[in-house]
Chains A and B, each alone.
Chain A
Amino acid sequence: MTTHAPLAIEATGLVKSFGATQAVAGVDLAVPEGSIYGVLGPNGAGKTTVIRMLATLIPPDAGSARVLGHDIRTEGDAVRSLVSLTGQLASVDEELTGRENLILLGRLLGLSRPGARTRAEELLEAFGIAEAAGRLVKHYSGGMRRRLDIAASIVVTPRLMFLDEPTTGLDPRSRGQVWEIARALQAGGTTILLCTQYLEEADQLADGIAVIDRGRVIAEGTPAQLKASVGAGGLHVRLLDPDRRPDAAGILERVVGAVVLEPDPAALSVACSDAALAADGVAALARAGVGIAEFSLGQPSLDEVFLALTGHLAEERDPTLEEQPS
């Protein structure tokens, strides 16, 4: 970011270990106020631990951070009064109804009894959960629970909101709704720190992205900068038959250049910025009788960015390394 907007989060050298495992190994972050800032990384990269430190839930072992100008170590209360947290596990009480959850938070934040009630109704309506307001949250769908969770975070509008994997496990439609809400929050002036393992999500929402892996920031920039840093665009091909991928890889390797196999077993891509060369590659596949479902020439996807930066795919980390502070 070249602009000098005041920073909502300014962290230097944050470190946190749990026993022998170093979950966060020296993270620096600079998040301009009013932006949506993506922290992108696979499971176990340390994203949640970074959020927990910035939200003052756990103290860092080393390093320091200021959140909206307040030190997270010494001014925890001031930080807490300006931020809100939407955790990875939905941070709402499953054994209460949706309405009761919102009233509870309203009361805890200092609204009067009628004030909390009015605010709850307003949010239930706006977030499309009015009809389920009297049902226990444990009976909610994943999408409804997430919306309630975010509604609970803006009972009093925070200046900074931590969104920790807000769409994990949601269907595409609910995911789109959460994104809309995040954009609306940003439009209202709230800064958002978005942790996600979905590359598409960061690309869709974030103004700036820090890619984090094994507790360290390994790259930083706008989505476009990150893509550019990986090099030119590429030819992306998705085959009708995944079994033909080895054949297709051989052909493209010969005609165009080095091939990258994508996580989708039917997809592969090859670095290439020349349209004519790309067309030759596609023509060669067609001549060899390899059925193509779709192909495109474009900027590299964030999947490729991740692969180029870390040498492994975002999804291939061992899920047992999931950060679990306890």
Chain B
Amino acid sequence: MSTATSTTGGADTAAVRQAIATTARPPRPGPLSTALTFGWRGMLKVKHVPEQLLDVTVTPVMFLLMFTYLFGGAIAGSTSAYLDYTLPGLLVMSVLFTTVYSGVSLNTDLTKGVVDRFRSLPIWRPAPLLGSLLGDSVRYVIAGTVIITVGVALGYRPDAGVGGAVASLALVVVFSFGLSWVFSVLGLLLRSPNAVMNAGFMGIFPLTFLSNVFVDPETLPGPLQAFVDVNPISILATACRSLMDGTPDGEAIVVALVVAAVLAAVFLPITTRLYRSR
């Protein structure tokens, strides 16, 4: 091997020696700065592979169009009345579906060598997890914004205006922070990204349908109705409806936030432990 090769063909040994000689170790970055750097990494991924947003935006939009125009008239009397009812629920659904991808992307990371690199760095250990959550929140906001925008294009007008829409979106995103740790645990336990996706949707899909997202539970048989009423997704959807309507349902909002906090309190420590020992 020659001592100086061209820069197109490979490494330039002299320059490599130079590069090795020039570094002094900088001070360690703080936990927040480290987490933000991982958040930046998450956003770069959305930038490089915007297609991944299609999965999480197209499905809810399809549901929106299908339910509104196929079943809307039958369920609520008119398509516009049904849109009023179901849009906040679809907002919940579209963002919650996105949280499954937090687990999928964590699992994808683990199948590559890059996690070993992160774990061998002298950084605050939960930073990669918290950071990717920051990146994921961008996806949550995009998924939610798409649904609200399509809804408005179809004639949805929240009584509380832009403020109501923003408040609902914010609530759903905060709830998703809690829920995403459940899928992170799945992402650390299961073997492949596909398995995480399947298991995740197997859970979230029925839970979403057994809620008040699509239909008013009043017509349901008693036991089913009881389940729907305590389903956190129903409660979250109720809270979002109330915010959109400009009549905030304090109880539903608080319950939704408490559920999110409990999910995070239980599943975040499990996630960090699993991540460390993996």
Interface residues of A (CB under 8 A from B): 52, 55-58, 77, 80-81, 83-85, 87-97, 100, 104-105, 107-112, 115, 119, 122-123, 125-128, 130-131, 136, 143, 147, 152, 154-157, 173-174, 176-177, 179-181, 184-185, 187-188, 190, 326
Contact = CB atoms under 8 A, between A and B. Distances in A.
A91 B114 contact: yes
B48 A95 contact: yes
Contact of B11 (A85, A95, A128, A188): A128
A127 B121 contact: no
Contacts of B229: none
14 contacts: A57-B120, A92-B114, A93-B114, A107-B33, A110-B25, A122-B22, A125-B7, A125-B12, A154-B23, A180-B1, A180-B13, A180-B16, A181-B11, A188-B21
B16 A93 contact: no
A97 B11 CA distance: 18
Given A80-B120, A93-B41, A110-B29, A125 B15 contact: yes
B49 interface: yes
A234 to B, nearest CB: 29
B5 interface: yes
Contacts, number: 150
Contact of A190 (B20, B49, B116): B20
Contacts of A105: 117, 121
Q: Which of A126, A155, A185 has the most CB of B within 10 A?
A: A126
B190 to A, nearest CB: 11
Interface residues of B, number: 46
A175 B108 CA distance: 28
B16 A181 contact: yes
* 4 closest cross-chain pairs (CB), A and B: A89-B113, A126-B15, A91-B117, A81-B122
B9 interface: yes
B1 A154 contact: no
B219 to A, nearest CB: 47
Nearest to A186: B20
B37 A180 contact: no
Contacts of A188: 17, 20-21
Contacts of B278: 326
A127 B16 contact: yes
A88 B37 contact: no
Contact of B49 (A95, A156, A184): A95
A122 to B, nearest CB: 6
Nearest to B26: A110
Interface in B106-162: 112-114, 116-123
A296 to B, nearest CB: 23
A130 B7 CA distance: 8
Nearest to A122: B19
Contacts of B41: 93, 96, 100, 104
A128 B21 CA distance: 18
